Chains A and B, each alone.
Chain A
């Protein structure tokens, strides 16, 4: 596809997505779409790091901070989420820098980096559970209902508004993904993921580049947590933080495709539809089954389809196009 053709396809797709809730009003389906958009944004945020080999299992922590800090500031200090969300993002960003800097400075990479971030996820979950006097612990937490100014409280009753908010946030995530993809930072991070010394010898400040992408990823993930909290109006440590949420991000991003912008979105569609199908089909009997299926699928994907579903499909289309193009050229040659 040419650049213009691609832009046109995006514009048409986007217009259809914006128009959707005005045409189609089934609340349950809209609810599923909102969830898909919010989680797609979270998975996209994770893949900002993941695509460069920075596999973090700490993102559940960032998401939990986004959700809980926003809700706590609202309930205890009456601080509007319009301020609370940026504050929560800054908090997650600061934590990301505090954990990231020593890791990158002292070259904790690969499995060791995964382990450090795994601990981060666990710690955030433990803190939320342990401070149950404030956070409600494992029973969960609900932001106080606003009675007068709903806009100030960022609380809306209708699904259409939430759908549009989620769509905007998701789109912002895709735009950031593309901006990074086109920047020199992508070259630097690809180089770093292959060989840190050689990247440094090319003049790249390895620590700074890794910190930058980690910060962006953490800020976005915290935003995803805050939006999720405002939409659901109920959060528990297990649904927005902890290792399970982190693993879910890894799984969805890998299944959808880490290296293409819409891969994590495809991953979100698959995982959420899977979870919903199991929930409706088997009810409480199937609690936790989705995690089992994730685990098995993850192993299969890493072995057989490392580029994920969307990545592999796009690869195949590209090679087919190349083949048909060479066929055309052959035909032209023969015709001459």
Chain B
């Protein structure tokens, strides 16, 4: 469904993303992990059109989408959430999602937009009441709103950017379940960028690990969690903590 090859993003002399290639199959949840500054968000920004790639190709459903404007990419069926929720505070919760339903589906129909908003809000578990204000939402609620906005654009592929930051353990598990539910019930393919490795490992089908803008490992969660290169760059080189963390990661991944 998505085929990325030789993707490069250079900021001046700095290569944020260096020759990264990967593919995502229909109905899959791909986890994308890596330390801070490894290029995860940059890849997301190129996939969603926020940044044009320096070079490389992004084929979505057989069409080249590299360098297209964000709204065109959304209309082709790639929705995204932001790492830090970016709600529109001048609009109500419902209006936030209806806006995405109206413009994101490329149909510009108010009725369809409101239907999409109701479905998306129900899916993530937010009230479908038309007058509820964004100001009443906490961290978990804002993440749900972010997800509802993306869902209302009727994506075929969802780019979920670190959706668990700032949540407690129970909320994290809920959110991870949510992504699985979105894939299982709506058939939406997902790329999930996440810092918190344990929860991610339980939900994703495959993991790709980035470091310094390069892909260093890719495969099943169990295999990646025990890849020494991943353990080194992702969990640090301090032997004792590394081993403990790796064991924890394996345990959570159910290996």
Q: Which residues of A contact B49 (CB under 8 A)?
A: 200
Are B74's CB and A197's CB within 8 A? no
CB distance from B94 to the nearest CB of A (A): 10
CB distance from B59 to the nearest CB of A (A): 21
Are B82's CB and A187's CB within 8 A? no
Q: How many residues of B contact A (CB 8 A)?
A: 33
Are B102's CB and A201's CB within 8 A? no
Are A184's CB and B102's CB within 8 A? yes
Select from chain B the residue with minimum beta-carbon distance to A195: B86
CB < 8 Å: which of B70, B89, B90 contacts A201? Answer: B70
Query: Is B50 engaged at the interface, CB distance under 8 Å to the other chain?
Result: yes
Q: A184-B110, A201-B80, A202-B149 are in contact. Are A191 and B91 (CB under 8 A)?
A: yes
Contact indicator per residue, chain A 180-212, by CB within 8 Å of chain B (1) or not (0): 000010011011011101111111111000000
Q: How far is the CA of A314 from the CA of B30 in the complex (A)?
A: 51
Query: Is B100 engaged at the interface, CB distance under 8 Å to the other chain?
Result: yes
Are B74's CB and A198's CB within 8 A? no
CB < 8 Å: which of B74, B86, B88, B110 contacts A203? Answer: B74
Q: How far is the CA of A205 from the CA of B86 in the complex (A)?
A: 17
Q: How far is the CA of A90 from the CA of B5 in the complex (A)?
A: 47
Select from chain B the residue with minimum beta-carbon distance to A198: B86
Query: Is B63 engaged at the interface, CB distance under 8 Å to the other chain?
Result: no
Q: Which residues of A contact B212 (CB under 8 A)?
A: none
Q: Which residues of B contact A205 (CB under 8 A)?
A: 69, 71, 103
Query: Is B41 engaged at the interface, CB distance under 8 Å to the other chain?
Result: no
Count CB-based A-B contacts (< 8 Å).
78
Select from chain A the residue with minimum beta-carbon distance to B45: A197
Q: A184-B108, A203-B74, A203-B100 are in contact. Are A197 and B88 (CB under 8 A)?
A: no
Query: Is B32 engaged at the interface, CB distance under 8 Å to the other chain?
Result: no
Q: Which residues of B contact A200 (CB under 8 A)?
A: 49-50, 69-71, 74
Are B90's CB and A190's CB within 8 A? yes
Q: How far is the CA of A204 from the CA of B152 in the complex (A)?
A: 13
Of the candidates A191, A193, A202, A206, the one having the most CB atoms from chain B within 10 angstroms of its own CB is A202
Query: Is B98 engaged at the interface, CB distance under 8 Å to the other chain?
Result: yes
Size bin of chain A's contact surface: 10 to 19
Are A184's CB and B113's CB within 8 A? yes
Select from chain B the residue with minimum beta-carbon distance to A205: B71
Q: How far is the CA of A194 from the CA of B82 in the complex (A)?
A: 15
Q: Which residues of A contact B35 (CB under 8 A)?
A: none
Are A190's CB and B88's CB within 8 A? yes
Are B48's CB and A201's CB within 8 A? yes
Are B99's CB and A202's CB within 8 A? yes
Q: Which residues of B contact A201 (CB under 8 A)?
A: 48, 50, 70, 74, 79-80, 82, 86, 149-150
Query: Is B189 engaged at the interface, CB distance under 8 Å to the other chain?
Result: no
Query: Is B153 engaged at the interface, CB distance under 8 Å to the other chain?
Result: yes
Q: Which residues of A contact B103 (CB under 8 A)?
A: 184, 188, 202-205
CB distance from A53 to the nearest CB of B (A): 10
Q: How far is the CA of A200 from the CA of B73 in the complex (A)?
A: 10
Q: Which residues of B contact A193 (CB under 8 A)?
A: 90
Q: How far is the CA of A193 from the CA of B91 in the complex (A)?
A: 11
Q: Which 3 residue pairs of A and B lie closest in terms of their CB atoms, listed nearest first?
A: A203-B104, A203-B103, A198-B86
- What is the interface of chain B, defined by CB distance below 8 A to chain A? 48-50, 69-71, 74-75, 79-80, 82, 86-91, 95-96, 98-100, 102-106, 108, 110, 113, 149-150, 153
Apart from the given pairs A188-B99, A197-B50, 6 other A-B contacts in the complex at a CB distance below 8 Å: A191-B91, A197-B82, A201-B74, A202-B74, A202-B153, A203-B100
